[in-house]
A and B are shown apart, each in its own frame.
Chain A
Amino acid sequence: MERTRNIIRLRRSRRWEVVRGVDENKLIRRAAGGDAAAFNELLGMHEKRMYAVALRMCNNAEDAQDCLQEAMLRIFRSISGFKAESSFSTWVYRITVNTCLDELRRRKNRPNTSLDGLLDTGWSPSDEDDTPDRHAARRQTRENLRRLIRELPEDMRAAVVLRDIEGYSYDEIAEILGANVGTVKSRISRGREKLREKITAHAELFDRPGV
């Protein structure tokens, strides 16, 4: 058996503090001073939700991971200017959504070649009667809906994702998107209407409940 030996020596002169239990404001102050370890700990608390937003906004998992990294760098670069007047998490998701929108605009003319990378990794069957076939069918149906979401105009897409998947209130979405509440409600309503039209037009892809 061939073995490769890599010697990795890592040194640090400053002791890592156990940040578990340290309040958010303290981590923010340390991160604002350039402390990467504090920043990584702080944003580690938000990365799953940031990634979920990016996955629904982007065309595939690879793009979503690129957006996640870019959003993290943007946050690190601007955290020293964060004002505690607004919620830190709202500020974080605002930068995440804006990063995704920028990326979508930048890649607008590029063909979408990798839809397969989008995996619904966080879902598990909650129904005891769920069977593997049923599970697979529902997963495919969710994927169909995700494709329809990705066809929405970007502003509607962001608003619908934040409301109907991430569960933010209209006020929070208005703050994240930097729009007024009336505009947000309108975008969400029109986005849902467009999705309904698409679902109706592709009825064979959805197993709709009876009324």
Chain B
Amino acid sequence: MMKEFERREGFQMRCADLNAWLDRLMDGELTDGQRRELEAHGRECPVCGEQIRATLEMKALFEEMPAEVDVPLAAQAKWRGAVRAEARGRASRRLYRRIGAAAAAVVLVAGIGWAMNARDIPLRSEKAAVSDAAEAPVEAAGALSEAADVEAMDAAPMMNDAVYKDVAYESEEALDYAASDAAVIEADGYAGSAAESASAPSAPMREIRLTVEDVDAASGVICDLVAEYDGTADAQRAEGGANLYVALPAENAADFLSAIAHLDVTGALSGLSGDFGEGTASLLLALEAKE
């Protein structure tokens, strides 16, 4: 820490104070006068001069390094996919637990019914029969719950113990959303195009060209976004790129295009708008790799 008197203009710095001065130089806290003082000292003292030159170079290089760096598209898609998988794993575990609880309730009701009938069975007291019936569902529920936990852990292999305790789904809405979040992917087989599977299109297919850095990565990101906007996508590889046939609710089309605009390196997609009418919007996204 630089002492108060050292901040005065015209202060004659000593070699022993060099580190403190250089820290203030790095932090941009030296006044012009102090900086001239430092440089003057560097010219007179070769040892300090060497350190000052190294610091100036280091500072200049640090300033050239950006505080933000674009994440490669493939890496973007990867972490987003991992988060979605984690969300689905949580939802599955919650669902299994609910199924387990429901099954336990069924077993309990059946057990009570059995106990009521057991009154007629000789050599057993009514109390013992009821006690047995009460234990049976507990065991059954435990087994179901255990099985559910094992399956859930399979579904979310990256989950650790701390997370295991952290079941965040508290509302039916969240559960429904996450359970339906699963993407159904049918590969290497034609099961009807996106346009066919959607309701009757209300507007002709609109073709939009995108120039992207990485066709595969961009296709993955677009397919994810199609899902976000309640649509369906049919991906078809083409020479030097890919064609994505997209059908989605017309009211979501403009927002969807806005969301994918950043993938187009030419910037031509930014600000693209239009009336997509009502019903279903059909789009052909022609992706080609940047030269």
Which residues of A are at the interface with B, using a C-beta cutoff of 8 A? 1, 3-16, 18, 20, 32-37, 39-40, 47-49, 51-52, 55-56, 61, 65, 68-69, 72-73, 76-78, 80-81, 120-123, 138, 141-142, 145, 164-167, 185, 188-189, 192-193, 195-196, 199-200, 206-211
Contact = CB atoms under 8 A, between A and B. Distances in A.
B235 interface: yes
10 contacts: A8-B235, A10-B223, A11-B227, A34-B90, A35-B174, A36-B86, A68-B71, A138-B64, A166-B67, A167-B67
A195 to B, nearest CB: 6
A10 B234 CA distance: 10
Interface string B48-82: 01111111111111101111111110011011101
Given A7-B187, A33-B171, A69-B75, A49 B68 contact: yes
A142 B65 contact: yes
Closest 9 CB pairs of A and B: A122-B66, A48-B68, A10-B227, A36-B87, A13-B180, A211-B42, A208-B57, A69-B79, A199-B54
- A interface SS class: helix
Nearest to A2: B237
Contact of B22 (A36, A69, A192, A206): A192
Interface of B: 1, 19, 22-23, 26, 39, 42-43, 49-62, 64-72, 75-76, 78-80, 82-84, 86-87, 90-91, 158-160, 162-163, 166, 168-171, 173-174, 176-178, 180-181, 183-194, 197, 223, 226-239, 252, 255, 258
B223 A12 contact: no
Given A33-B174, A36-B83, A200-B51, A16 B69 contact: no
Nearest to A125: B64
A5 B190 CA distance: 8
Given A16-B228, A211-B56, A7 B163 contact: no
Contact of B239 (A1, A121, A141): A1
Nearest to B185: A8
A50 to B, nearest CB: 8
B169 A72 contact: no
A65 B269 CA distance: 28
A196 B56 CA distance: 10
Contact of B163 (A8, A9, A77): A77
B52 to A, nearest CB: 5
A81 B163 CA distance: 11
A164 B62 contact: yes
A143 B1 CA distance: 31
Contacts of B91: 34
B67 A73 contact: no
A195 B194 CA distance: 57
A146 to B, nearest CB: 8
A189 B169 contact: no
Nearest to A142: B61
A125 to B, nearest CB: 9
A164 B53 CA distance: 17
Q: Of residues A1, A5, A32, A121, which shows the largest number of chain B Cβ atoms within 10 Å of its Cβ?
A: A5
A28 to B, nearest CB: 12
